[in-house]
Structure 1
Amino acid sequence: MLTLVCLPSSKSHTLPFAHRRNIARLALNPRGNLLLSVDEDGHAILTNVPRRIVLYHFSLHGEVNALAFAPSGRHFAVATGRQIEVWRTPSTPDVGDGDLEFAPFVRHRLYLGHFDTVQSIQWSADSRFFLSSSKDMTSRIWSMDAEEGFAQTTLSGHRQAVVGAWFSKDQETIYTVSKDGALFVWKYMLRYDAPEDAEETDESMQWGISERHFFMQNNAHVTCASFHPESQLLVTGFSHGIFFIHELPDFSQIQNLSISQNDIDFVAINKTGEWLAFGASKLGQLLVWEWQSESYILKQQGHFDAMNTIAYSPEGQRIITAADDGKIKVWDVNSGFCVVTFTEHLGAVTASEFAKRGNVLYTASLDGSVRAWDLIRYRNFRTFTAPSRLQFTSLAIDPSGEVVCAGSLDSFDIHIWSVQTGQLLDRLAGHEGPVMSLAFSPDGSTLVSGSWDRTVRLWNIFARTQTSEPLQLMSDVVCVAVRPDSQQIAVTTLDGQLTFWSVSEASQQGGVDARRDVSGGRKMTDRRTAANVAGTKSFDTVKYSADGTCVLAAGKSKYICLYDVQSGVLIKKFTVSVNLALDGTQEFLNSKLLTEAGPSGMIDEQGEESDRENRKDYTLPGAQRGEGARKTRPAVRVPSVAFSPTGRAFCAASTEGLLIYSLDTTVQFDPFDLDITVTPTTTLNTLAQKEYLKALVMAFRLNERTLIRRVYEATPVQDVPLVVKELPSVYLGRLLRFVALQADESPHLEFNLIWIEALLSKHGRWMKDNKGGMEAELRSVEKAVRRIQAELARLADENIYRIEYLLAQPAEKAGETLALDFGVKDVGDEGIDEVMVDGEDDSEGEWLGFS
């Protein structure tokens, strides 16, 4: 998957398409409107970035090691193995003839000459030449078209593979950096074998080494490098996680910083040369560094081990993820960024749950502790442990927040602690196997536990006699969930059954045979086909929706299934991933990939690597999890799902990462209720005729944001209540979202508040009756109003003493003070006529009249 990150607004957006393999290379054209992404198999996708749509699919027939657009944007160069290909950039509707091409990818030329894999391609500023760097320890200069008097030139002299080569801004100098930390400066000079009195002609000139510099980083080697010709900055990343910034041609060091414990795999410099972006794939780190102010613009890191559990915060704005690496991360739903990371756990975190009231999170871990986290101050304020060392796997929190319960693998008892004192209150005995799932009913009267002893027990822990009602099932219980009205529980078992039980009657109300639904995808080691292997599949997690009408279930499969509780009908299946690099995503195996030693994808080829550093094996024999585990092909699975409290979204923890599915997605085009008479021109004509309601509805149908804003701002203030009153209810949610967005972006403070007041007063009753589908919009409006209130209060607090001081002064002295503070247009004998508020002269700002 591809994700776009907007650094100024600190938001990220995932593009609505995916490659069939892991993405290997990315390149953006100079205009910034075309993105070319290539996966490990050489399959390329050309994307229109502003509209976020796919234009073309194309195969480059091989693994791509380097990719770069020419500065002119008309061509791009691709390195596949030892050869380099230059292709013409396909035209787009906003460039060229205006129509998409039938055969868009046309190869311009093929370049051969290197003896090993090409690792880097860099173009000259005029797009006539490009440099290639290879593992054969050479760099070569190529011309895109045949140039008179130019011959392909080889730059040799390095002792290890060349990581990168670049032209200087004037193209008179070439810089090359090799893996062993050597920087060579190349100049166009007289040949060493030329006579002393020879003239400077093309025959007597050649590229030669004028200077040599070395980084001297002991055993560390250069993993990536980038050069910015305008500012002459060279940025290099090393295998020990340190990057250096040097200024060329003097090779003077400006900065060095340790940003990772592992290799820095990628580095990029933005167009102005102020921001440096680094990527470390092993730990999932993405960093953007502003070197002048020495500050982070962006610092993100994902889990480097499998995620186990997720939880939505009560207000639905944050998601908690916990993984085998012992880390707990808090993610912001709107921006997609990690807010804070907790690392106190010493083992894998297996369960997490929010308290129903307040910002308190509870987590259970295999290190034998249950911890409580304060998400306001971001601290661990309580730790619960058992008398003996246990591995906790399940967790449940009482709705009142007074009691926390946990189940473990080693002991078959349920441990209960007091949140206030942290003391162990009780141990519930009765299960004969590990307790794998716990859940409190929302009314707090019942604790539901599921165990591998094939029973679900209902505990009344707050009664005088702690009784338990056992429900017998046909197989080991994997997960339990309680409906929001506390009247029903959903149980998933190891035999692939999903059953529904009545809490009051302790009887089964319905069931679904989910083996066929959850099956899909065949692992490389499976002896049976994907259809026949269905008997071994089951759900690992199940959750009720906010209204209790649906359940969401997932497991060791590439599918997430949504069921209707009443009828047991499968409503929809969501495909988690189509990445063939994961085990269990393809339906049919390719017999060509089967070797005498087994499936080729399961064979560890690390020992065959050409570089000595890559041949080193740091894995531990038999390790299944943790940093030393042997990983050839990770299997696709969904260990946990969670519904948003609003019911408009759900999230899933998968092998690919944290996935969020939402109904509130913004689309480019909405075809419903649209006919040929609704166009931007007719909308503007309707607006000119002062039919504001009709123009607003037409703008919403076209779903063009600029058009909606134009109609919105053109509506007279006195007509706003009437327009809102007659607006069809189907557009209320969209108008609320738009007004909330305008309240954050536009300077028209009172105008936006008038719209909000009209919407709430005219349609408040309807919104209350349909709050299930309007909670997200109302929350965004509430946030906007609170922000405006806070800013106005701050502005008033800052200026109250200045205004009191000015009012207490005589007219002449007040005029002098204002002239110094604001800038005065006219100060006469009778006082101040007009005062400048927002600018320094008549051309900018706004003049306010003073008496």
Structure 2
Amino acid sequence: MACQGLQAGESLASLKRESANLKKKLDEERNKLNDVELSKVAEKVEVLSSLSIKTRRVLKGHNNKVLCIDWCKDKRRLVSSSPEGRVIVWDAFTLNKEHAMSLPCTWVMACAYAPSGCAVACGGLDNKCCVFPLSMDPNENPVTKKKSVAMHTNYLSACTFTNSDMQLLTSSGDGTCALWDVESAQLLQSFHGHTADVLSLDLAPSETGNTFVSGGCDKKANVWDMRSGQNIQSFENHQSDINCVKYYPSGDAFASASDDATCRFYDLRADREVAVYQKDSIIFGASTVDFSLSGRLLFAGYNDYAINVWDVLKGTRISTMYGHENRVSRVRLSPDGTALCSASWDNTLRIWA
């Protein structure tokens, strides 16, 4: 069946060769534009002094590994999800649990706060993404108002709201990403281009952002246009699964974290990778990344329980944050940039400042 669309004289092998040649030509064109390295340009920039970031809060309440976290825009609340089948909404100042929702599916792998702060979305091994409206009434159970919005053919790996509560972007183990209408649960756009599980996505940070980036088990990071569904840029520099992708605050670049123990930095305007963050002493995979508000620092969580802080411009490691007793699954900077929250397989969340 797959060979029916082939032209005369074409074979699968010849098309693969042609594809490889086109990739080679593309790399050659990219290298022609590679006039100077980022670290060379940054030589004149002042060296950052070492950071004194400490754990200020430890949030305990999950009975299993914490897989995902997201901040509310109010800079105070957090949502976290765990494979025990629970999603918890926290007050990061007081450590109070404001809501705890139990789901019929135990493995809840993804969660996200709505921009208004009035709802959270979550999903996992049940292939669905559900939205829970949150109210101030302590007697009201959000689970009773649960709304199923998205449905994939494999597990849900990540979800995020667009710049309104009305649209939800999801990625899945079925190799696709999708944009959904929250109210009608209709599929608005699907994104096909990965050849394996998509593990992470991140929305461009501008108000009118119409692009997002995704990374997955095919070692590719793809940039997508949400209006057309087209894959507009693709980067294949990692040697192993890409666990996390995160946009630079300006939206002109993004970083990726991979099982190959490196984090990489890509400039979208130059259409190429411009920095690699690695050390010979780091042999464990990187699971998550996030930028500081200025974009000068890159926080990366690793499977050896540590969080490394990199100087984005110089490519050097500034400090290492210890505290977790198992793999760091997620790091997220608060919206005002004053605190970092990390989630771990040790069942806790930590607030660093």
TM-score over 0.5 for the pair? yes
CA–CA distance in structure 2, aligned partners of residues 343 and 381 of structure 1: 11
* Cα deviation code 1:341-399 (max 9, x no counterpart): 1352111101112224563221110011101122344322011112x642111112212
Alignment match, 2:338: 549
Looking at secondary structure, tell me which structure has more helix per residue.
1
Q: 2:102 & 2:327 partners in 1: Cα distance?
A: 32
Match for residue 274 of structure 2? 468
Residue 249 of structure 1 corresponds to: none
Mapping 1:122-141, distance limit 5 Å: none
Cα distance in structure 2, aligned partners of 1:389 and 1:484: 33
Corresponding residue for residue 106 of structure 2: 305
Alignment match of 1:478 (pick from 261, 282, 287): 287
Are 2:226 and 1:451 equivalent residues in the alignment? Answer: no
> Aligned equivalents of 1:317 and 1:485: distance in 2?
28
Cα distance between partner residues in 2 of 1:550 and 1:464: 31
Q: Which runs of 5+ in 1 are unaligned?
A: 1-17, 21-282, 285-299, 520-536, 565-851
TM-aligned CA distance change 1:553 to 1:301, over 3 Å:
closer
Contact 2:233 2:271 (8 Å CA) reproduced: no
Residue 352, structure 1, aligned to residue 159, structure 2: yes
Alignment of 1:424-573 (within 5 A): 424-461=231-268, 463-473=269-279, 474=282, 475-514=284-323, 518-519=324-325, 537-564=326-353
Query: SS at 1:432's partner residue?
Result: coil
What displacement does 1:415 show?
Answer: 1.9
Letter in 2 for 1:403: T
Report the alpha carbon displacement of residue 502 of structure 1 after superposing the two structures with TM: 2.6
Matches within 5 A, 1:1-80: none
Does the 8 Å CA contact 1:500/1:508 hold for their aligned counterparts? Answer: yes
Distance in 2, matches of 1:399 and 1:361, equals 15
Would you say the 8 A contact 1:303–1:323 is kept in 2?
no
Residue 119 of structure 2 corresponds to: 318
Query: Is the contact made by 2:263 and 2:286 (CA closer than 8 Å) also made in structure 1?
Result: yes
The Cα of 1:437 is off from its aligned counterpart by 0.5
Indicate if the aligned counterparts of 2:285 and 2:303 stay in contact, CA closer than 8 A: yes
Task: Give the Cα separation in 1 of the matches to 2:148 and 2:296.
Answer: 37
Q: Residue 128 of structure 2 is aligned with which of 317, 327, 342?
A: 327
Correspondence for 2:200: 394
Q: What secondary structure sits across from 1:399 in the alignment?
A: coil
Query: SS at 2:272's partner residue?
Result: coil
- Is residue 2:166 matched to residue 1:365? no
Shift of 1:492: 0.6
Q: Which residue of 2 aligns with 1:238?
A: none
Change (3 A) 1:341 1:357: closer
1:559 partner amino acid: T
Structure 2: how far apart are the matches of 1:327 and 1:363? Answer: 10
Taking a change above 3 Å as real, the CA distance of residues 323 and 465 of structure 1, as seen in their structure-2 partners, is closer
Using a 3 Å threshold, how does the CA distance of structure 1 residues 315 and 442 change in structure 2: closer, same or farther?
farther
Q: Secondary structure at the match of 1:552?
A: strand
Structure 1 residues 443, 360: CA separation in 2 closer, same or farther (over 3 Å shift)?
farther
Q: Percent identity?
A: 19
Report the counterpart of residue 187 of structure 2 in structure 1: 380
1:478–1:493 CA contact under 8 A, matched in 2: yes
Deviation at 1:317, TM superposition (A): 1.2
What CA distance in whole angstroms lies between the structure 2 residues aligned with 1:484 and 1:315? 21
Moved over 3 A (4+): 356-359
Task: Compute the displacement of 1:421 (Å).
Answer: 0.7
Q: Distance in 1 between matches of 2:160 and 2:198?
A: 14
**Cα distance in 2, alignment partners of residues 346 and 355 from structure 1:** 22
State the distance in 1 between where 2:102 and 2:260 align.
39
What SS does structure 1 have at the residue aligned with 2:132? strand
- SS of 1:485's partner is coil
What is aligned with 1:413? 220
How big is each residue's C-alpha offset from its partner over 1:192-219, in whole Å with a ceiling of 9 and x where there is no partner?
xxxxxxxxxxxxxxxxxxxxxxxxxxxx
CA deviations on 1:783-819 (whole Å, 9 max, x unpaired) are xxxxxxxxxxxxxxxxxxxxxxxxxxxxxxxxxxxxx
Counterpart contact for 2:149–2:180, Cα < 8 Å: no
Cα distance, 1:314 vs structure 2: 1.2
- Secondary structure of the residue aligned to 1:362 is strand
Amino acid at match of 1:552: C
Q: Secondary structure at the match of 2:151?
A: coil
CA distance in 1, matches of 2:149, 2:211: 23
Check conservation: 1:395, 1:405, Cα contact below 8 A.
yes
How far residue 301 of structure 1 moved from its aligned partner, in angstroms, is 8.0
Name the CA distance, whole Å, in 1 between partners of 2:155 and 2:271: 35
Rounded to whole Å, the distance in 1 between the matches of 2:295 and 2:164 is 18
List runs of 5+ in structure 2 lacking aligned partners. 1-60, 64-84, 87-100
Where do 1:778-817 residues align within 5 Å?
none
Question: Partners in 1 of 2:238 and 2:132 — Cα distance?
Answer: 36
Partner Cα distance (1:377, 1:442) in 2: 32
Q: In structure 2, do the counterparts of structure 1 residues 303 and 488 end up closer, same or farther at CA, with 3 Å as the change threshold?
A: farther
State the distance in 1 between where 2:216 and 2:322 align: 28
Q: Distance in 2 between matches of 1:469 and 1:357?
A: 33
TM-score, normalization: structure 1? 0.28
Aligned to 1:254: none
Distance 2:255 2:203 in 1: 11
1:722-779 Cα offsets, whole Å, 9 max, x none, are xxxxxxxxxxxxxxxxxxxxxxxxxxxxxxxxxxxxxxxxxxxxxxxxxxxxxxxxxx
Amino acid at match of 1:446: A
1:482 Cα deviation from its structure 2 partner = 1.9
Aligned residues: 246
Structure 2 Cα separation of the partners of residues 341 and 301 of structure 1: 15
Q: Distance in 2 between matches of 1:454 and 1:343?
A: 32
* Alignment check: 8 A CA contact 2:309 2:317 kept: yes
Corresponding position of 2:54: none
For CA contacts below 8 A with separation 6 or more, give which structure has more relative contact order: 2
RMSD: 2.5
Preserved contact between residue 355 and residue 399 of structure 1 (Cα < 8 Å)? no
Partners of 1:340 and 1:327 in 2: CA distance? 10
Distance in 2, Cα, partners of 1:552 & 1:390? 29
In structure 2, what is the equivalent of residue 155 of structure 1? Answer: none
1:373–1:496: structure 2 CA closer, same or farther, 3 Å change rule? same
Q: Matches of 2:102 and 2:271 in 1, distance apart?
A: 49
Q: Tell me the CA shift for residue 306 of structure 1.
A: 0.7
Structure 1 CA distance for aligned equivalents of residues 187 and 102 of structure 2: 21
What is the deviation of 1:470? Answer: 0.7
- Distance across 2 between alignment mates of 1:341 and 1:490: 33
| AA of the residue aligned to 2:274 | S
Aligned to 2:9: none
Q: Deviations 1:565-590 (Å, cap 9, x if unpaired)?
A: xxxxxxxxxxxxxxxxxxxxxxxxxx
